[in-house]
Structure 1
Amino acid sequence: MVKGSSSDRGASAVEFALVAILLVTLLMGILEFGRLWAIQGSLAQASRDAARTAAITDSASAGESKFTEVFWALAPSLSDTLSGSTPVRNGTVGDEACRWTVTATYTTRSMTGFWPGDIPIRAQGAMRCNG
């Protein structure tokens, strides 16, 4: 068995340090993206359910309650700012163009610290009046 010189071991340590930095950065990016994607999915599902509930009951308050119930059930560990989850009716009931829409925005911060500042995530749900 041939022993490597000490300069070979030092070169290996430097190579490992360079590769490790890239791998850790990639791993943190994957974790951050996955978290944001999961939040967006929860926000979209809650928006669709809220629009559907508002359209069936013709009640904005019922839709908003449904949004809160669904979003926090899907994402119980989140604690950042949620806004705009109130359903809005566009048109009058009976018109073909009548729609209930919910546009919600959830503002969060980076979990890893790679992205400074707030990260707004938006989702919209829409449903024809009377389901």
Structure 2
Amino acid sequence: GLLTGKFRRIEDVPVGRRETRFYRTGQTPCRHSDPGFEDEIFEFIGVLMAFCEKHGFSPAEVAMNFLKRRDFVQTVLVGARTIAQMEQNLASYEKEIPAELMEEIEKASEPLKAVMGDNADMWQGDGGRMF
């Protein structure tokens, strides 16, 4: 829901989904001890949505292009509950976004990646980030 724009602020995220290290401890029972970084997440989501509106791309298209730009990504696993969502995922994967625009949004994501640290795992705070 984050990259689709479905959740634009912490109050939009269902309580049961706030258990990951992305969010502060104390809101729900969590198995992590990270301080959370929801402020940075939602700040970047705002930047991402403005970027998408400005350039005419969907957040799904930007996310797919981010993954396609990574040499080490061999497979992209996507979730879809409906045929329409699967069709959107396929169309997003096939869409090409110019490199200079992708570099712009990737640069805008640096503050978020900095607070995430070396691990993008949403459950555990230790480990190594792949991007």
Q: Smaller-chain TM-score range? A: under 0.3
Please state which structure has a larger fraction of its residues in strand. 1
Q: Say which one has the larger Rg.
A: 1
Task: Give the TM-score, by structure 2 length.
Answer: 0.26
